[in-house]
Structure 1
Amino acid sequence: DELQADASDTVFTYVICAVCPVRDGKQELGYFSGENEFHGYAASQLVGSPELGFMFPAFDNRMANIHNALLYSKNAAQIHHEFIDAVFHTEAPLSAEEQKAAFQTALAEALDKSCSFDVVQAVHEQIRERIVQHKESKDPEPLDITAREVGEILEKSGISETQVQAFKERYAKEFGEGAALNPSNIIDSGKFELVTPQVKVSVDPEYSYMLETKIINGKKYILIPADEGLEVNGLNVTINNP
């Protein structure tokens, strides 16, 4: 049957290491039934949830992979390079935050003045759409994206072939030739945010297509349609014709 077809006669043996903080217990008031009295007491030490850890070997393609280990970090922005170097004696991979920063740098420097609102909006929307479709498909294989695929998005957005090639070269420099990234590491699929020195605007990514930029009388504006109602601090307001 289906269960037996998916079974294996190979035993997966592994080691899990968890690094947990230990803190002194707090002084509390407790009731001692034998003495019929309340006394102060404190647990000597308490073990907190893991800050980091790893499983070795990794489990890839239904078998042990002794060349890889699965690393866990409570804070995705801190993967503890010193721990990886001390335990595995290898260069640590980029954290999700570092991947996002490197991707944005590659995009901004390669496109220069062509890194417009419309281009960034298109990149965000199309990568987000891939994330949504992959989640809905329930595909067990992890989703990834390459420089070539991002380059195709840029080309469709009107970016020149020279600048697309410059992006691919910068991407390869940051992540390695042919590297594939987790799309969730390079964009925030749950947020679309615009920031100026004076204003911050957050928009549901599903409706980011409604935003547009325009230059009016020499000034740059971000336009947001408000035909279906507008609230200011929870109060319904109207927009009057001039």
Structure 2
Amino acid sequence: MDKKSIGELRRRIKKDSCSFTKMCGCYVDDNKNKVTKIDEIFLNLEDEEFFKYIDIAKKVLSTNLGNNMLELDFPLEEEKPGGHQQFLLGLKKSALKDEGLLDTFYDMIIEKYDSLGNYLILLFHDRYDVMVKTSDNNKLDESEEVYEYIICAICPMVLSKPGLGFNKSEHKIGTLSREWMVAMPETGFLFPAFNDRSSDIHSVLMYTADSKNPHEELVTDILGCQTKKTFAQKQDILCDMVAEVTSEEEVKEIMESVNIELAQVSDSEPETYINESHIKDALEYAGISQPKAQEIGQEYISTIKSEELPLIGDIIPNKAAKAVKDNNEKILLKEEIKELNRKIAESQPDGEDIIIKVNDDKKALIRRETIDGESCLVIPISENENIKIN
């Protein structure tokens, strides 16, 4: 999936266009007990709840592909009867109306999901009547297909902050009881994927709030897919390799230098994919010896090449990219100022130290006088005339 496809789905999740048919869920405590279950016709929810749940569903559809969103493909064995893909297809086709399937899904998450606290499992079901689009992106009143999908969000439960307030039962000001609140999802998924504005049952889109530590058990044990590294994890792999050949105190400074050098390459060649030479040159620039730099470059590419190699811009921190962009803009601005000053200098007449511009009716009134022994140029002015110097 690309950002455009995700954006198309996100734009539908709002009050006037949301078409979720059903929402189900299960609240799980820290002892892995099912505390309560949810089964709601989504459009029947009160506005306050409606908007809260909409925010949760939209959060799962992040457009930060490669970091917070990973597109995963099902292995062939998972597409056979009894596989994870077949189970998800059944869950989707049931439109979340099969209580047995829902309980099996909740049980699978409760058994496999790595969480020390309370959390809420939410499932949304939707059918999207995908309209035909012309080459100029205008919609036609004709449907290409009905894209049926589910969104899963797993939200941690957090305690509200303690505070003073009005206690109605005791009719006094006192400490209010703390309540368990639903936080934004820490992980989730969209199934099936929405590729080329069409349903792709061979892929699933996984969301993770923490791109450095995604819930890999969701990928392998619940979705049945192979793990995939985020861009943030690929940044950390390089940092770990550098840490093995230098001191702990130097790692931060070296990586800052490496990231700046890579950002320079990315800024000048945005569509360039990372290779061994890029890593080697950046490490040498940061002070790593040529043999070690070459070894790390080879090892790094070998480690991540099992997946598609990323663009250079994908594996550098935003801070480095912004620093290079800002610096390059400053350099460009300085060059533009130099050129402007050169043109101004060329346009000024030679041998004249003072240039004065006045209206034509003032020219005849200008005179030279000696005032306090100094030669001065006198220009008579009236009270209502505007004066601008330089």
TM-score by length of 2: 0.35
Q: Partner letter of residue 309 of structure 2? A: A
Q: Which residue of 2 aligns with 1:228?
A: none
Given that 1:29 and 1:39 are in contact with CA atoms closer than 8 Å, whether structure 2 keeps it comes out as yes
1:145 matches 2:279: no
Distance apart, 1:94 and its partner CA: 1.5
| Residue of 70, 74, 91 corresponding to 2:209 | 74
Q: Which has the higher helix share?
A: 2
Letter in 2 for 1:65: D
3-state SS, counterpart of residue 181 of structure 1 = coil
Q: What does residue 47 of structure 1 align with?
A: 182
Deviation at 1:95, TM superposition (A): 3.1
Query: How has the CA–CA distance of structure 1 residues 13 and 175 changed in structure 2, closer, same or farther, with 3 Å as cutoff?
Result: same
Aligned residue number for residue 172 of structure 2? 38
Distance (Å, rounded) in 2 between the aligned partners of 1:152 and 1:87: 39
Which one of the candidate residues 206, 215, 221 is aligned to 1:86? 221
Check whether the contact 1:81–1:92 (CA below 8 A) recurs between aligned residues. Answer: yes
Shift of 1:18: 0.7
Change (3 A) 1:130 1:11: farther
1:187-218 deviation line (CA, Å, top 9, x unaligned): 124238xxxxxxxxxx943449xxxxxxxxxx
Q: Deviations over 1:108-136 (max 9, x none)?
A: 99xxxxxxx99x958744545636886xx
Q: Could you say which structure has the greater relative contact order, defined with CA pairs below 8 angstroms and 6 or more residues apart?
A: 2
Indicate conservation of the 8 Å contact 1:78/1:95, yes or no: no
* Conservation of the 8 A alpha-carbon contact between 2:152 and 2:190: yes
Q: Does 1:15 align with 2:150?
A: yes
Residues matched between the structures, number:
182
User: Distance in 1 between the 2:153 and 2:210 partners?
Assistant: 14
Give the share of equivalent positions with the same residue, in percent: 18
Q: Which AA in structure 1 matches 2:172?
A: F
RMSD, aligned α-carbons: 4.9
Q: Does 1:191 align with 2:327?
A: no
What displacement does 1:81 show?
1.4
The AA in structure 1 aligned to 2:223 is: F
Sort the Cα spacing of 1:10 and 1:87 in 2 relative to 1 into closer, same or farther, 3 A.
Answer: same
Give me the whole-angstrom Cα distance separating, in 1, the residues matched to 2:196 and 2:243: 37
Q: Partner residue of 2:340?
A: none
Unaligned runs of 5+ in 2: 1-133, 245-252, 286-290, 329-390
CA–CA separation in structure 1 for the residues paired with 2:272 and 2:222: 28
Task: Flag the structure with larger Rg.
Answer: 2
